[in-house]
Every structure is written in C-alpha cells, then in structure tokens.
Structure 1
C-alpha cells in the first residue's frame, strides 16, 4: 500500500506501545484514526485526548460506518498479540481489508527515507530513544517510532521535518525483516521468543537476515562479542572498533570517554546507570557522528537525555527511600539492572518485586531466572503474567521459587506487596517485569512518600 493513498486507519490493539506511536503518526498526517483495545490504560486515554476514537468492545457494533466496507483508502493495522478469535480482526480479514502488522507499516513509512533501525533482544528501546533524542536535541531532526515513552518528550513518537526516521526493529515474529535500514544497530542476540523461533540458532538466523537487509552503502553497528562476522563493533570497556572507557560514577551520573577511529570525546555525562547503558549510549553516539553531527553537540545532548519510562526509572529518590522501576523481563536484562543498582547503592539492602512474563519464557529460562533472582537480598515474587499465552501445566511462580537459593523470598499478591511495603518501608525497592506490574507503581510511590 502506498503511504499517500492512506486516508483512514484502524488499529486492532491500538494501546500497544508500538501501535500507539503509529496511531499518532497517522493522526499527525491528517488521517482519520480509530482503534480497539481490550482495556483502557493511561496511554489509550492520552490517545483519546489527542482525538483518536477508541473502543474497548471487540464487536462489530463498535465500528464506525466508514470501517464496515473495504476501501482502498483504509488501512487496518494489527498486533500479533491480538487473539486469533478476535471478532474485529476476523471481520476485517473476511472482508478483504488491507491488513498489515506494525512492522509492515513501518516498512511502508520508512521506504524512500533515511532509516536508522535498532534491533536486539534487549537494549533496543533505550538505544533507539537515545539516537532519536540526540538527533532532535541537536537540531538535526528525525521522525521516531519508539518502544517506550521518552521522558524528555513524554511520548513514544517524535516528528521531524526531514526524511530521517528512527525505528525500533522488533525481532518478535521476525517483524524486523520488513525494514531496509541505512544505519542498523544490533544490541544483543540472547535467546528469547523461543515460542516463535524454537531455538537460539533460528533466532540468530533472523538477525543475520536483518543485517542482510542493510541498504547498499549502509552502516551496521554490532555489539562486541555477538555471533556476527560483519559490521562495526562497539562496546564499553572492551577492545572494539567503537568503544567507551574510563567509566566511573560521579555524583550519581555515569561518566565515560568515547573513542572511534577518528573521534575522541572525553567526560561524557549520562543519567543512565550501568555498563549496559554506557554501551547503548556509545553506539547512539557513533550513529549520530555518522550523520555529521558535531562531537560537542552530541556530548551535550547525551547529558540532557533523561531516559525512558520504565527503564531504570526513579519513582522515589529522597533521604529515606530509593524506588526504581524497570521493564526487565529476561534473565540478562535482570542481571544488568541488578548490577547497575549495586554499583550505585552497594551497601543498601535490595528488595525486589518481580513479575515473570509469559509461561513459555519462564519455562525456557527457569534456571537462569532462578540464578539471577537469587542474587538480590529479598524477593517478592508475583504470579506469572500470561499476556498472549494459555497456562502451561506445572509452570508457576511456585515452581520457579523452588529452584532459587535465596532465603528471603516468597510469593505475594499485589495487595500483599502493598501491605508488605507499608509495614517494612524498604530503603531500596525495585519493581521489575513486563506485564501489569506497572499498576503497582503509583500505589507504592504513595506508600513510600506517605501521600
């Protein structure tokens, strides 16, 4: 479908972080935009305030008349997370509407533009958002479709007046193979989504294919140590083509030096904690320099970047309590998150509330989850968040708990978590997970700040 032909768009699953960015894009283009989602959230409420009509009923009666009959000017976008028995999705399919996944639509939008695509089983949201911020803050400009809410802009969508587009390239369901980037970044290739890929080898094959989609003359950045033979390697504290070194913590900020074949930038300050975020920032700097942005402007932009919502986000930080929330839901993400916390608060007892995400992921990585979760001081474990999955026999939070070596750990309901925090008032609290654990954030903040 040609972009210029699209006059109206319907989103089945409009409340998703990636889908909502697309909805905002088409609204900005002047298209009629509507959609469905299962439940009202803070994000869908904001979309409604922006003029996007949303229904929370999966029924034909909820459709506007314009979407009942197939039209060449109408695009229907859906997320694979929508159940296969969805009434609305099946109606559009049966009527022969042009149905596209989010990734396919990103391919349509980025076609003919200068595309910067960031892929990886983790790190892609933060990295793509840093790149988008550097381009925006320096005045270079870009249009960006992000997988999280950028704190600087309170949005997952940025619009620029040039032909540069920054996208988060999602490996789930091989979605990123619709993109043909000018600059591609691969941040990680750890086994994940094994319900889709089956094994790590198949996942790696998808990343090889993604790298092969690079436009002629394009640039590929690959984190040092990944099983890729092509590309410019980057790292923090390792011997790579692009690297950061002299990493230290000063007044709560991470400070480091950047070096590549032709540029050195010293004393770069970043609000983002942890070596993994130094690496994310390193490749973002490399991408920005590739576009000809001056080192001085890049350094200033990095210092002003305030992060992404639910990515090591400080909820409470006062003399009595530190409360951090993070989206980490894979063992490697948890390990990086815990390490960053320990670097900043090495002497403080760490209390963690974790919600496992997906029965299949919990089953596939149980040993790794048990090992990394056992490194905290105290664990409050919630039930597994099913998302798109049905339960798997025997795969429960209790089953996972039995594999841990940590003494201070138990299963809690959300209400029990609130009661525990009210009574114990932990000095250092961390909530982690990709499900609906975010519904605890405001109540926990209220408890710790005595609102």
Structure 2
C-alpha cells in the first residue's frame, strides 16, 4: 500500500511512518523545512521528506494527516478532491492497534517514560514488541520500534479523546489531572474521557492505574490492578535511599530495584512496568535489569551538560504538576545546589486557565526565571500576558525574574561567571531547550 504522511516530522507521525515502512508499505512524507530531531530518524529509515505540494498525494492509496493541519491544507484538499482516504494520526494508529495485543499507556503525565519502560521490558523478555512513542527513547535509539511479536506498546494521548480510536487489551493510566483547557471543560470532563477509554477494554483485559491519584476511581469490566507509593495499592514501593526501593505485590515482598531515574514520580512509572511484568509472568530479575539499565527519554530530566561549575538540565514539564514534581526531584537529588528554573509557558489557553496553579508550582526552586509564552499554531488570540504570570508567581516566591527569550543566553553567561554549583533547569514543551543547548555549545567553542 502507498501511504503519504502529511506533517511527517511530528514525533508521533514519524514513529508511525517508520512502523508502516518496516511493515512493507511504500511510504512518503512531507513537512516544513524547519529542522526537528526526527529528521535523522526519517533519513535513517529511508523516508524522504518533501515540501508540501498537491502532487505528493496523486499516486497514493491513503493520506495520514497530522492534527496540526486542517481540510484547507493543500495536500489534504487535493486528496479529498481525488477521493483518496484521509486518516488522522489517531485514526491511523487505531488501525494498527487492531493488528496486535495492544498495550495503551495513557495519563496526563508520565506517558512517554512509562511507554519506554514497558516497551524495554517486553524487549528484554524476548517478546519482540512493536513500540510507538511520542519522543526519542535512548534505549531504542529511536521513537519507534518494529517487532515481529504479537504485542504493540502505544503512547495513547487523551487530548481530544484521541485514545478512543485505539483498540487495547491492556490500559495503563499513570494519573489523571486537568490539562488541555482548550478542549476539556474541567477535571470531571477529563476523568470521563479516561473512563470512556477504560470502558472499551475486553473482559479478559487488564486495567492498571496509579492508586496515588484520581485514576484510582476508574472502573472497568475486567481485572484491575493499582500501583503506587501508598501501601493501600496492590503493588507498592518502599524507598530505601536514593535510587533504591523495595517492591511489594499483593502482600508479598518481590525484591529491591535500583533506578537511574530521578524523582518519586519515576518510581511510580517503574511500578507500572512491574504490574505489566506480573501480568505477563516475566521474571523479576528481568524487571530489575530493565529499570537499572534504562537510559531515559529525551527531554525528561535530561542532563544536557556542564557549564563551568554548573549543571544544565532540561525537562518537558509544561503543567503545574509536572513542574512541581520535576523541581522536587532535582532538589532531592542535589540538596546542596541552587536550582534555577527557566520556564517557558506553553500555549495561552493553558497559561490563562492554570495561572494560579503555575504561580504556586515553583516552591522547590531557588530562583524562578519566566520567559515568553510559546503559542500553539491553533491559537489566534493572546489570552494572557507573561507579566501576569510573573506578578502572580511573585506572590508565592521571593525570587522571580522575567527575561525575554532573546536575552536568556547572555543572562546565563553572566550568571555562570558570578555563581557556583547551580543547576540551570530549562522547562517547557516549546523550544526553551534550545537555549540550554546554545549556551553549552557557545562555552565549548570558546574553551
């Protein structure tokens, strides 16, 4: 089959394109000229990326279109005129889930890390899974993996109820929190979406939920297992110092695990993996090896490098809960360091709706730097100004500074000369990570 991917550089789209290519289909793709981390992955997979043009879809059987583009896009319009089926990314991925015993990894936070962990576990257990994930996984050296086994591990996004397109036997819910205010009305609407997805599980399926948050209230017509830090869960952990914890399952001590991942939220993510290991009867030593050897995910508490006597980290955190747990994790791991949080809010709608929550999420930081809001292409109206967030955050934190994005590099240079033993942590779902990379590259060239 000839499939064309419109917007192929997207993290999910590029992952799906690679899978269908390895399944034997003829794949083409198109996108903007701007460089993305997926460029190298697509080149390595032998997928040519063309400029957008109506001729790209003239000789294809299906067009898979990114959610970023609507019916007026030149390629989508041309496909519709030729009666060529146009499927969105969730629809196309939904078709793929029907071909496997699919494991859906969802939740407001932690999806990517948990998908990577569970995918790695099934690989180490010789189950040869296919994996579709929303970011670069170090263990995979990719954001996708095509396997010959019967298992598909999918990062399943809740936005616009996309995950209702997927057919899964197993569903993992890391947490339920209010996000995507441009779509969900409130936390009740958000919860209902997850419940709708859980209702679709078969009677012989499995629902795995983190019992430390609202996800514990989900119900399903199949087996249900809870995990978390609370001992009320079916599977829980007891911390035994930095990077080590004991695992208990259904009242039985399973053994100790060592994790290279920072933060209690990553212990919870690891416990989700343990639940899948128990379900598929995987030996505990394979679970231990999978976690201890897990190299992590791009832009998830990623150590970017050293800046003189300082460390530069980056994280995808773009929600108050994510900011709070990320800063807490860094402070716990580096108790004597001064943590400088450099946050770029993502979308006007999220910033406006969660303004007060954002303002109170930086308690663990020693210094809060806020920079210009990264707007979504969908947003036509500037709903809030960054200075509103600055003023609100000052009510809860003694050291808050606004720095325009264009001035972050010189500010970092100045601060690195004046201070010692600091951690500079860039956070946000936009392009703030590039500032950390730029300053490190600049220091390298000048040394």
User: Is the CA contact (8 Å cut-off) linking 1:141 and 1:164 kept in structure 2?
Assistant: yes
CA–CA separation in structure 1 for the residues paired with 2:339 and 2:239:
27
- Describe how 1:7-406 pairs up with structure 2 within 5 A: 7-38=1-32, 39-56=34-51, 58-60=52-54, 63-64=55-56, 67-68=57-58, 74-83=61-70, 85-224=72-211, 225-226=213-214, 227-230=217-220, 231-249=224-242, 254-261=243-250, 264-316=253-305, 320-373=309-362, 375-405=364-394, 406=397
Alpha-carbon shift at residue 179 of structure 1 (Å): 1.6
Mark the CA change 1:295 to 1:410 in structure 2 (over 3 Å): closer, same or farther.
Answer: same
Deviation readout 1:169-201 (Å, 9 max, x if unpaired): 110111101122121101111011121122222
Alpha-carbon shift at residue 152 of structure 1 (Å): 1.6
User: Is the CA contact (8 Å cut-off) linking 1:144 and 1:166 kept in structure 2?
Assistant: yes
Alpha-carbon shift at residue 263 of structure 1 (Å): 5.3
User: Is the CA contact (8 Å cut-off) linking 1:268 and 1:302 kept in structure 2?
Assistant: yes
Deviation readout 1:140-195 (Å, 9 max, x if unpaired): 32110011111122211112221111001110111101122121101111011121
Mark the CA change 1:263 to 1:287 in structure 2 (over 3 Å): closer, same or farther.
Answer: farther
Greater shift after overlay, 360-369 or 308-317?
Answer: 308-317
User: Is the CA contact (8 Å cut-off) linking 2:225 and 2:275 kept in structure 1?
Assistant: no
Alpha-carbon shift at residue 280 of structure 1 (Å): 0.4
1:418 aligns to 2:409 (yes or no): yes
Unpaired segments ≥5 residues, structure 2: none
CA–CA separation in structure 1 for the residues paired with 2:25 and 2:278:
35
Alpha-carbon shift at residue 374 of structure 1 (Å): 5.1
Mark the CA change 1:208 to 1:394 in structure 2 (over 3 Å): closer, same or farther.
Answer: closer
User: Is the CA contact (8 Å cut-off) linking 1:358 and 1:389 kept in structure 2?
Assistant: no
Greater shift after overlay, 38-47 or 131-140?
Answer: 38-47
Alpha-carbon shift at residue 124 of structure 1 (Å): 0.9
Mark the CA change 1:247 to 1:327 in structure 2 (over 3 Å): closer, same or farther.
Answer: farther
Alpha-carbon shift at residue 415 of structure 1 (Å): 3.3
CA–CA separation in structure 2 for the residues paired with 1:104 and 1:418:
41
CA–CA separation in structure 2 for the residues paired with 1:389 and 1:380:
26
Deviation readout 1:247-281 (Å, 9 max, x if unpaired): 420xxxx1111111275332201111100000000
Alpha-carbon shift at residue 393 of structure 1 (Å): 4.2
CA RMSD of aligned residues (A): 2.0
CA–CA separation in structure 2 for the residues paired with 1:102 and 1:317:
38
Alignment partner for residue 435 of structure 1, among 408, 430, 438? 430
Mark the CA change 1:448 to 1:408 in structure 2 (over 3 Å): closer, same or farther.
Answer: farther
- TM-score when normalising by structure 2: 0.92
Secondary structure at 1:197's aligned position in 2?
coil
Mark the CA change 1:264 to 1:158 in structure 2 (over 3 Å): closer, same or farther.
Answer: farther
Match of 1:3 in 2: none
Mark the CA change 1:75 to 1:84 in structure 2 (over 3 Å): closer, same or farther.
Answer: closer
1:446 aligns to 2:447 (yes or no): no
User: Is the CA contact (8 Å cut-off) linking 2:312 and 2:425 kept in structure 1?
Assistant: yes
Alpha-carbon shift at residue 345 of structure 1 (Å): 1.1
Unpaired segments ≥5 residues, structure 1: 1-6
Alpha-carbon shift at residue 301 of structure 1 (Å): 1.4
Mark the CA change 1:394 to 1:212 in structure 2 (over 3 Å): closer, same or farther.
Answer: closer
Deviation readout 1:118-154 (Å, 9 max, x if unpaired): 1111111111110001111232321100111111222
User: Is the CA contact (8 Å cut-off) linking 1:134 and 1:301 kept in structure 2?
Assistant: yes
Alpha-carbon shift at residue 96 of structure 1 (Å): 2.3
